[in-house]
């Protein structure tokens, strides 16, 4: 089973850049999307249904902002939207699809890049997400999404210069360690110890052409699923967003 996660930075913009054709060729069994930036009424269901996908959405209340989705060739047994906290749920940040043997999540963590207020919200989200996910660690979970955090120096092109940058702050990195210690596996890093693999680049500085990036997009699995993990990739040749997709192959 192939599962792809992709922050598309606007599904309509991605479609204009050939996203549907790329998806047809990649043909994952399941696809987690972040930053869809579209409401449920405007979502292009027909495009994805024609490719064989069931479409599950959790848009933000604010138009053209945030939002997550899960596309699956297998119909989900149940869908859960949000985490019962209005501040995050109105921004469409967590979506769960339950299947027979596992639960798939598409998550979009807040960014703190717009200022102190949003950074404070980000840190509160991290604390709340930790408490929300903690009782679920015994379950078969696949958590896909944009965490907006680089975990280690190997995950960012210039760790010294970015030591005080949101997304690489010591407290954010410590939180990610704490999260992993709950019993989660960073699938890509577990199978790929090499440096210079990133999932996001600053488009204003031509950083992608120079591969001066950040690895902030993850596919995490709970430890009970580790025997099912086969491969993990970063699909850096997909150019529909300032992010690129990640993919895991699992025997499920």
Structural domains of the chain, ranges and CATH numbers in brackets: 2-250 (3.60.10.10)
Res 205: pLDDT: 85
Mean pLDDT of 147-151: 98
Mean pLDDT of 50-66: 97
Chain-wide mean pLDDT for the chain?
Answer: 97
For residue 196, give Cα distances in angstroms to 152, 158, 193, 204: 12, 10, 10, 20
Give the percent of the chain with pLDDT over 90. 97
Q: Is the dihedral of CA 114, 142, 237, 231 positive or negative?
A: positive
Q: The whole model's pTM is what? A: 0.97
What's the order of all strands across the beta sheet hosting 246-250?
54-58, 68-72, 30-34, 2-7, 246-250, 229-234
Q: pLDDT (tens digit, 9 = 90+) per residue, 183-217?
A: 999 999 999 999 999 999 998 889 999 999 999 99
* Catalytic annotation, pick one of 29, 100, 128, 146: 146
Cα 70 to Cα 80: distance, rounded to the nearest angstrom: 11
Residues 6+ apart with CB under 8 A from 147: 107, 109, 176, 216, 217, 218
What are φ and ψ of residue 5, in 5° steps?
-120, 140
Res 159: pLDDT: 97
| CA-closest candidate to residue 33, choices 21, 51, 19, 46 | 19
Give the percent of the chain with pLDDT over 70. 100
146 flagged as catalytic: yes
Q: Is the pLDDT of residue 246 over 90?
A: yes
Q: Residue 215: how many CB atoms within 10 A of its CB?
A: 25
């Amino acid at each position: 089973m192939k599962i792809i996660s992709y922050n598309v930075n606007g599904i309509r913009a991605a479609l204009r850049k050939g996203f549907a054709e790329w998806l047809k060729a990649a043909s994952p069994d399941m696809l987690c999307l972040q930053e869809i930036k579209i409401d449920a009424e405007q979502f292009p269901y027909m495009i994805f249904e024609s490719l064989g996908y069931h479409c599950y959405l959790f848009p933000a209340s604010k138009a053209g902002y945030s939002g997550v989705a899960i596309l699956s060739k297998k119909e989900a047994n149940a869908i859960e939207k949000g985490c019962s906290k209005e501040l995050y749920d109105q921004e469409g940040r967590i979506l769960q699809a339950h299947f027979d043997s596992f639960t798939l999540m598409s998550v979009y963590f807040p960014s703190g890049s717009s200022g102190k207020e949003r950074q404070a919200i980000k840190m509160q989200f991290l604390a709340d997400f930790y408490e929300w996910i903690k009782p679920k660690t015994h379950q078969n979970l696949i958590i896909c999404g944009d965490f907006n955090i680089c975990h280690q120096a190997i995950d960012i092109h210039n760790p010294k210069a970015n030591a005080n940058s949101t997304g690489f702050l010591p407290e954010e990195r410590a939180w990610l360690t704490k999260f992993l210690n709950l019993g989660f596996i960073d699938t890509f890093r577990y199978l790929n110890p090499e440096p210079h693999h990133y999932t996001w680049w600053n488009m204003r500085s031509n950083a992608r052409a120079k591969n001066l990036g950040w690895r902030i997009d993850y596919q995490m699995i709970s430890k009970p699923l580790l025997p099912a993990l086969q491969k993990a990739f970063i699909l850096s040749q997909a150019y529909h967003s300032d992010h690129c997709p990640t993919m895991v192959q699992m025997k499920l």
